[in-house]
Amino acid sequence: MNKWERMSQDSSFRQAYEAREKALMDEAAKFAHARNEGKKEGIQEGVQQGKIQMIKGMHELGVPLETIAKASKLVIAEVERILEQK
């Protein structure tokens, strides 16, 4: 019987090994979840930046605030707040 077979028959060694494997899988799942959440946040930030650029571009073209608000699905006060941030 080789060393690995002897160790795998030892229940305390096997339990420690299985606990370590579970911890590694849990950690990998945690990182995968964090990565997915980061991607979602990045996409949302990109959409928001695109909306801000659209609002500023429409304003530079002389589009009325009411129209900009409708196009961006924001209230006029929010459009004005965005336009004040230069």
What is the domain count for the chain?
Answer: 1
Mean pLDDT over 8-33 rounds to: 89
Mean pLDDT over 3-19 rounds to: 79
Residue numbers of the domain that contains 23: 3-84
- The yes-or-no verdict on residue 19 having pLDDT over 90 is yes
- The yes-or-no verdict on residue 62 having pLDDT over 90 is yes
DSSP single-letter state for residue 63: -
Instruction: Give the rounded distance of the alpha carbon of 25 from its chain centre.
Output: 21
Mean pLDDT over 55-79 rounds to: 96
Residue 18 has, within 13 A of its CA and on its CB side, a CA count of: 8
Cβ atoms within 10 Å of 80's Cβ, excluding its own:
15
Mean pLDDT over 57-77 rounds to: 96
Percentage above 70 pLDDT, the chain: 92
